[in-house]
Amino acid sequence: MHSPILAPLMALVLWSFVMWAWLYATRLPTIRKNKITLDPYRTKEEFNAQIPAKVRWKADNYNNLMEQPTLFYAVALTLAMLDAGGGLNLVLAWLYVGLRVAHSLVHALINVVILRFAVFMAASIVLLLLSVRAALIVF
């Protein structure tokens, strides 16, 4: 038997790989087209200054997916281990994943900061609720 909350967890993992592929599908052609030299002594800022913003957004979002979602993975695994991965917890987990996908699309396509911030805050509140629900079971 496995917990249903593992499905949204794996969906977010797979979405991270979609963003990983998208960042390289846009970055590598830009590097070739602009003949950008990959110099290990150049700072990240110097490298990024040569990459158009619309290309950088994909990488920036991929990096974002390696930050806060790690808390989601920990909470989801905790709920799975506690056999509390269904019901409202499952709904909140899917809502968090949906909001993170929406955040990625806003970030990668249009990057309207206030919209991106609103989606990020909504996802953060959902994650906080899920975390509190897990903590109430643990404590």
Task: Give me the amino acid identity at 29.
Answer: P
The pLDDT value recorded for residue 1 is 72
Grouping H, G, I as helix, E, B as strand and the rest as coil, residue 13 is: helix
- What distances in angstroms separate CA 121 from CA 10, 68, 116, 125, 126, one per listed residue? 22, 11, 9, 6, 9
Q: What is the pLDDT of residues 84-134, one digit of tens each?
A: 999 999 999 999 999 999 999 999 999 999 999 999 999 999 999 999 999
Task: Give me the amino acid identity at 3.
Answer: S
Place of tokens 């990959």: 38
Q: What is residue 51's DSSP assignment? A: S
Beta strands in the chain (DSSP E): none
Instruction: Find the mean pLDDT for residues 16-40.
Output: 96
Task: State if pTM tops 0.75.
Answer: yes
For 67, phi then psi, to 5°, come to -105, -100
Using an 8 Å Cβ cutoff, are 76 and 5 in contact? Answer: yes
Helix (H) or strand (E) holding 11: helix 6-33
Structure tokens at 47: 């490298």
Q: How many whole angstroms separate alpha carbon 33 and alpha carbon 128?
A: 43
Instruction: Find the mean pLDDT for residues 4-31.
Output: 98
Q: How many whole angstroms separate alpha carbon 27 and alpha carbon 63?
A: 14
